[in-house]
Amino acid sequence: MIAVISSTVTLFVSGRLGRGAGEWRRWVSQAEYDTIQRYSRLDEVRETMLKDYYRDLDEDALILGAIRGMTGSIGDPYTFYYTPEELKKANEDSEGVYYGIGTLLQNTTDGEIVVVRIFPGAPAEGAGLHVGDVILAVDGNPVTGVDGRSYLEAVRRMRGGEGTRVTLTVRRDGARMAIPIERGDVKVSYASYQVLPGNIGYINISQFSGDASQVFHEAIDAFRSLGIEGLVVDVRNNPGGLLDQVVDIADALLPKGLIVCTKQRDGARTDYYSDEKYYDVPLSVLVNGMSASASEILAASVQALERGRVVGLTTYGKGVVQSLQTFRDDGAGLQLTTASYYDAVDRCPQGVGVKPDVEVALEGTTLPLEPDPVSDNQLAEAIRQLSVKGE
């Protein structure tokens, strides 16, 4: 019940706190009163369900469901609520150490969850899971990629104690199959590098998280000492990651200029610049349809500042930035889309992606596990572009 004493500047309200919790009473402003009125139906539904449903209900579950409904109602797959347990697992992902099967997954625009990377030596590799497999169910529980919540649920079910087993139901080349995998201790490095024939440096960044920036700078130091003649940065199947990591990496590759800017709803803008110091060798960036978010920032900035060639296929098309609010009382979190991002020529890839300078489709169904210009025609083209001038 809400009792109005005054309708001018402040109002006196009272109401029930819940079963057995008594009443609350206090003065509120008109704006606060309007909010109470707006959400009173939600409380009425909660009270009715707790009182009249034919079985006892978990009130915490009702609250969580209401929060999930609120975040899901806006139709943004990147906005969702983490329980404390889910946020802990997400942090483990970014740190690269956990018990699981060792895969990198991505939501697709078709509403599916697809395997975009299998980490070398991980349990998934030995069990025969393939890049490109679509995850349909985990231990018989159907999963989809329609939103961030579904993705988190799939990841949660794949985790477990070392030595325990999980069975993935996947679709591969139109066929449905079940793949049992024994979970193990997964230690992931999100970047790797080597020197390819022709004295070409190659850096693969699977996600802009964890040790990616550290390994990238180790690679640049090594390449400087070897005097390499060109550099390929491979972000194919890279779903994105942290803004500060991609800005740090881009700064090392780009001449002085705007890397990216973010724009919020109220018009607030934040610019991220590279300085004049950079690794000045011929550069190619490899992308495909699963290169998203931070990967697109890197590719777009290389194009906008005319630093090198982007090779492959048009990228995923995620041009929005998320912020994470952590709730201190219990460690839960809210991931919320708070801005769009734009490159130096004011392009935003949301919904359209970054079109490569040189478009080339992969010959074959999956990327080789190791960089090989002979079997990987996209990589071969990226290397060829290092010597192309003025086209």
Reported as a single tens digit per residue, the pLDDT across 315-327 is: 999 999 999 999 9
Q: pLDDT tens, 337-391?
A: 999 999 999 999 999 999 999 999 999 777 777 899 999 999 999 999 998 754 4
Q: Do the domains spanning 80-186 and 189-385 agree at the CATH topology level? A: no
**Residues near 20 by beta carbon (within 8 Å), at least 6 away in sequence:** none
3-state class of 100 per DSSP? strand
Average pLDDT of the chain is 87
Q: Which residues contact 9 (CB under 8 A, 6 or more apart)?
A: 29, 30
Phi-psi region of 266 (alpha: psi -120 to 50; beta: other; left: phi over 0): alpha
* Tokens of residue 61, six digits: 């579950």
Close Cβ partners of 205 (under 8 Å, ≥ 6 residues apart): 190, 191, 212, 216, 233, 234, 235, 238, 249, 295
pLDDT confidence bin for 146, thresholds 50/70/90:
low
Strand order in the sheet with 309-312: 191-196, 200-205, 230-234, 283-287, 309-312, 358-359
Whole-angstrom distance, CA of residue 256 vs CA of residue 125 = 41
Per the CB < 8 A criterion, the answer to whether 117 and 103 are in contact is yes
Give CA angle at 147 (146, 150), nearest 5°. Answer: 90
Task: Identify the CA nearest to 362 among candidates 347, 343, 382.
Answer: 382
CB-facing half-sphere around the CA of 371: CA atoms within 13 A:
25
Name the CATH superfamily, with its identifier, for domain 189-385: 2-enoyl-CoA Hydratase; Chain A, domain 1 (3.90.226.10)
Q: Report which of residues 95 and 258 the model is more confident about.
A: 258
Rounded CA-CA distance 247/249 in Å is 5
Indicate the fold that domain 80-186 takes in CATH. Answer: Pdz3 Domain (2.30.42)
- Confidence band, pLDDT 50/70/90 cuts, at residue 8: very low
From 334, 318, 172, 345, select the one nearest 261 (Cα to Cα): 345
Domain range annotation of the chain: 10-57, 80-186, 189-385
Q: In whole angstroms, what is the distance from residue 242 CA to residue 209 CA?
A: 6
59 neighbors 150 (Cβ within 8 angstroms) = no
In the predicted model, is pLDDT for residue 188 greater than 80? no
C-alpha 321/C-alpha 293 separation (Å) is: 8
Give the pLDDT confidence of 60-108 residue by residue, as tens digits: 999 999 999 999 999 888 898 999 988 887 777 666 556 789 888 877 7
pLDDT band with cut points at 50, 70 and 90 for residue 7: very low
Report how far residue 327's alpha carbon sits from residue 335's, in angstroms, rounded to the nearest whole number: 11
Q: CB neighbours of 329 closer than 8 A, spacing ≥ 6?
A: none
Per-residue pLDDT tens digits for 112-144: 888 888 888 889 989 999 988 999 999 998 887
The yes-or-no verdict on residue 147 having pLDDT over 70 is no
State whether residue 349 is helix, strand or coil.
coil
Separation of alpha carbons 333 and 123, rounded Å? 30
